[in-house]
Structure 1
């Protein structure tokens, strides 16, 4: 069965339909029930822009976890837009409920992952004495002997804490 009417049924090729409405389609499909043969109004598809945006931002927030700030920002924005998109979808003003929910969940995971990763980094920096090293170098000013002492103290602290020997760079 062809999707196009046979030539000659409505004229030579594609002329306008006869007056009074459209003829029945090939294949014999009846008009919709209760239409009385009249045309009916079909609702236009709902916009899914917010849901798609929430989904994309939620997906991007996952690898951005390792930048901490990027994961927090993208995750937070994905959660907010996901909530707005879900609200509009429930009211019938928009579509894409599934994408909105997925974007919201991924955004929340990115946000939580970024916070956890940031805390791990902060604890590691605090435990290794990086902040003490930075303070020591700032207090040393430009005195090279004091800066070298700060480096030795930091290296000793890392060795004591983790059992790792830090090898200094060869002199230049």
Structure 2
């Protein structure tokens, strides 16, 4: 085997040995990209951008105005029924305004939202006012009908009472009618009457009858009999004439009737022969205060 040359330096040989853990030299920088190829055509500038579109805030403004109008009208007692229309429009326009704001077409989202809220409040107040108005009108109507029914019932009761009182004032001979002041009146069945030769009110051929009226005071105070003269109607309903003669048998009730006392009146009347089969007697102690009572029957 040949020996290594002697002129070689071992230190130099060792110096040429590289460290495997030492980083190598940095990589070269990449080459720049090639520029645009040269062209013989001229270069024109790009299009100029147009102006930015105006925000569509009209819906929000309209909603706010209508919402305020709806709330104001709903608070007025007279005009609350008109508030539903602007309130409803406020909700509609406000919803459209919110939609535009979400799409970036409007910048007044808060205004549109306020319009929706005011519109909803106006609608609620309007509906509530309408319900209150309906209930109030219904109650007033029912009260008016109730009052009308009460008036009708009272009138019917008065009519019924009047008919009953009228019926109670029509009696047969011998029955007694009592007035509210406690005066009791009884008319006896008429009796034949023969006038004397000196007579007034009795035509020749007529039939004369005597009517006896008895008045009793059942009250606690004396009662004045102002009209103590009865009226007598014949069978045809015609008034008859009072017979006056000189016999002194007639007696007219006048003056006061004391409590517990009675007064008797006797009267004679002339009846035509063709209407003397039935008579009716009317009597009232005071025609200005008390209605007449009626006694009737065959003669």
TM-score normalised according to structure 2 size = 0.30
Q: Which has the higher helix share?
A: 1
Task: Return the alpha-carbon distance in structure 2 between the equivalents of residues 93 and 82 of structure 1.
Answer: 14
Deviations 1:29-61 (A, max 9, x none): xxxxxxxxxx98773441211110000000000
Q: Residues 41 and 80 of structure 1: is their aligned pair in 2 closer, same or farther, counting only changes over 3 Å?
A: same
For the pair 1:43 / 2:52, whether they are aligned, the reply is yes
Task: Please point out which of 107, 110, 131 is paired with 2:119.
Answer: 107
Q: Is the 8 A contact 2:56 2:100 kept in 1?
A: no
After superposing the two structures, state which structure 1 stretch, 108-117 or 120-129, moved more.
120-129
Q: Which has the higher strand share?
A: 2
For the pair 1:60 / 2:72, whether they are aligned, the reply is no
Could you tell me which residue of structure 1 aligns to residue 88 of structure 2? Answer: 76
After superposing the two structures, state which structure 1 stretch, 94-103 or 42-51, moved more.
42-51
C-alpha displacement of 1:129: 1.9
C-alpha displacement of 1:130: 6.3
Q: Is the 8 A contact 1:68 1:115 kept in 2?
A: no
Equivalences for 1:1-172 in 2 at 5 Å? 43-65=52-74, 66=76, 67-129=79-141, 150=148
Indicate the structure (1 or 2) with the bigger Cα radius of gyration: 2
Task: Return the alpha-carbon distance in structure 1 between the equivalents of residues 70 and 143 of structure 2.
Answer: 28
Query: Which gives a bigger RCO, structure 1 or 2 (Cα 8 Å, sep 6+)?
Result: 1
Q: Is the 8 A contact 2:59 2:97 kept in 1?
A: yes
Q: Is the 8 A contact 2:67 2:90 kept in 1?
A: yes
C-alpha displacement of 1:69: 3.2
Moved over 4 A (4+): 39-42, 130-133
Q: Residues 53 and 131 of structure 1: is their aligned pair in 2 closer, same or farther, counting only changes over 3 Å?
A: farther
User: What are structure 2's unaligned runs of at least 5 residues?
Assistant: 1-47, 152-299
Deviations 1:99-143 (A, max 9, x none): 00000000000011000011111111111226965xxxxxxxxxx
Task: Return the alpha-carbon distance in structure 1 between the equivalents of residues 128 and 81 of structure 2.
Answer: 12
Q: Residues 81 and 129 of structure 1: is their aligned pair in 2 closer, same or farther, counting only changes over 3 Å?
A: same
Task: Return the alpha-carbon distance in structure 2 between the equivalents of residues 132 and 83 of structure 1.
Answer: 45
User: What are structure 1's unaligned runs of at least 5 residues?
Assistant: 1-38, 134-148, 154-172
